[in-house]
Structure 1
């Protein structure tokens, strides 16, 4: 398959923070939003596949990769992330788009939809959540207390913890730890994709991660789910331990007229594990949405 040429750029969002983006293809806009501490590479299968029929837009969340530096660290909020989405659309002169969000990309989509529903033609949720997914993660209630312990220690010794963060993430064992945690299926995901992801995580400022992670835990978009009126597709990895099936079933039960797809053996990064199957389901959904316009 031929690689679609890309256009890259950066613009200043509402507070002056630069937001980096990439655009490929022509047609109806499809905006892809990755999760916390993730990178555009998480979408590379979808970018290549859909850019032959759609205008595919990816961007770095504020504080991530090339969307740096954050002008005001107090603006690491769900509201700010939603504003960045609308600033991106304004910059590219897009009034309405299809959206796909993975993991933390889902609550970002929900917050944006709550602010401006007319900007959405449709919504695709991949292993997403609408409220704190940390409680009971891996069947335990230890993640949240551990997070607040790390946050407290970080505030006392930020330099040391930034160093530990990079050392912990940027080493060969992290690939297997990430897989064991349900983030990837090593039998089908390419090791290179996981390594690229971990290098991206290592470059992330720990203060950015801690601040956004706390936002993730505090956000509750349950009321937004009930009010979604555009077509929605929920894709769930059967073996996702990060956002287990109960979150995806809840999306299906709460969002009116939504479609649900279960991907056998899919991990938290279903779009990387089984890209062909995921792409076909997304394509079918998008075609049906467009045909009803």
Structure 2
């Protein structure tokens, strides 16, 4: 894959990885991760698509945002990035925090999005869940970083899951703390920012999560898919939060079908694995 940088407005720079040719498929990772977190999708889907995996602002080699930036600022950045690619409407997929960004772009700039895929997204958290997220965001702003807690929530004890957990651990331990804290705060308070806009999303929308994900629950996925005009929910059994790494074959099949137009039908829910 090729490492590239792209100048954006206001002298900002975005870093991304690119591989393949064909219709563009833009991937946005979750908070604390980096563009390489999509490596199973880059390697597989680049046989059919121009896969573009971008470092979120404040992560990897992409410029950061000022402390206190909220989800709309990340959506503006993603919009700026897609426009700078000059590739026409794109297939857009996001994971976790990246899924909030992808949905925000689909709501605010539908002209830029041909299809949108939301992996392990959140939608109208409970007050208890939101308060827990905000507490963790405050800890990060104070300079504290707890790597073990998310790893316990995101992965089970299976060997394959632990291999993925080791990769995620290495990314979390090397992430820019200021960028991580800013993005996490936006993620913690962002689940309702574009929630009311889901019913305006007219393009095909794939909403995928793991059956055992306690934060991005199957019910959240089904609610988002029902709210969209052309949505489909997919729930992968026995999986948790980082499904693109722990169930890459199932995720790649779902993304390939989605990007090839199979998600343009209206079935509301489904399951794989």
**Which of residues 140, 143, 149 in structure 1 aligns to 2:132?**
143
Q: Where do residues 166-205 of structure 1 align in structure 2 (5 Å cutoff)?
A: 168-169=146-147, 174=148, 177-181=149-153, 183-187=154-158, 189-205=160-176
Q: Distance in 2 between matches of 1:122 and 1:244?
A: 22
Q: 1:143 to 1:7 in 2, by over 3 A?
A: same
Q: 1:89 to 1:150 in 2, by over 3 A?
A: closer
1:221-273, Cα deviation, whole Å (9 max, x unpaired): 11211100001111120010122222112112211221121111011111212
**Which of residues 211, 214, 226 in structure 2 aligns to 1:253?**
226
Matching of residue 38 in structure 1 with residue 33 in structure 2:
yes
Is there any run of 5+ residues in structure 1 with no aligned partner, and where? Answer: 1-5, 155-160
Q: 1:251 to 1:74 in 2, by over 3 A?
A: same
Total equivalences in the alignment: 263
Q: 1:136 to 1:50 in 2, by over 3 A?
A: same
Q: State the match for 2:189 in structure 1.
A: 218
Q: Distance in 2 between matches of 1:25 and 1:134?
A: 41
User: Is the contact made by 1:122 and 1:289 (CA closer than 8 Å) also made in structure 2?
Assistant: no
Q: State the match for 1:48 in structure 2.
A: 43
1:106-162, Cα deviation, whole Å (9 max, x unpaired): 11012212331011110111110244x47434xxx761463365367x2xxxxxx3x
Q: Which has the larger radius of gyration?
A: 1
Q: 1:252 to 1:53 in 2, by over 3 A?
A: same
1:55-80, Cα deviation, whole Å (9 max, x unpaired): 00001011101114x3x515833233
User: Is the contact made by 2:155 and 2:162 (CA closer than 8 Å) also made in structure 1?
Assistant: no
Q: Distance in 2 between matches of 1:64 and 1:277?
A: 27
User: Is the contact made by 1:14 and 1:84 (CA closer than 8 Å) also made in structure 2?
Assistant: no
Q: 1:151 to 1:7 in 2, by over 3 A?
A: closer
Is there any run of 5+ residues in structure 2 with no aligned partner, and where? Answer: 266-273
Q: Distance in 2 between matches of 1:212 and 1:242?
A: 17
RMSD of aligned alpha carbons: 2.6
Instruction: Tell me the TM-score normalised to structure 1 length.
Output: 0.80
How far apart are 1:25 and its partner, in Å?
0.2
Q: Where do residues 280-291 of structure 1 align in structure 2 (5 Å cutoff)?
A: 280-288=253-261
Matching of residue 112 in structure 1 with residue 112 in structure 2:
no
How far apart are 1:17 and its partner, in Å?
3.0
User: Is the contact made by 2:205 and 2:230 (CA closer than 8 Å) also made in structure 1?
Assistant: yes
Q: 1:134 to 1:215 in 2, by over 3 A?
A: farther
1:192-213, Cα deviation, whole Å (9 max, x unpaired): 4322222222222333333222
Q: Distance in 2 between matches of 1:15 and 1:198?
A: 33
Q: State the match for 2:8 in structure 1.
A: 13
Instruction: Tell me the TM-score normalised to structure 2 length.
Output: 0.85
Q: State the match for 2:72 in structure 1.
A: 79
User: Is the contact made by 1:127 and 1:236 (CA closer than 8 Å) also made in structure 2?
Assistant: yes
How far apart are 1:53 and its partner, in Å?
0.3
Q: State the match for 2:268 in structure 1.
A: none
User: Is the contact made by 2:33 and 2:175 (CA closer than 8 Å) also made in structure 1?
Assistant: no
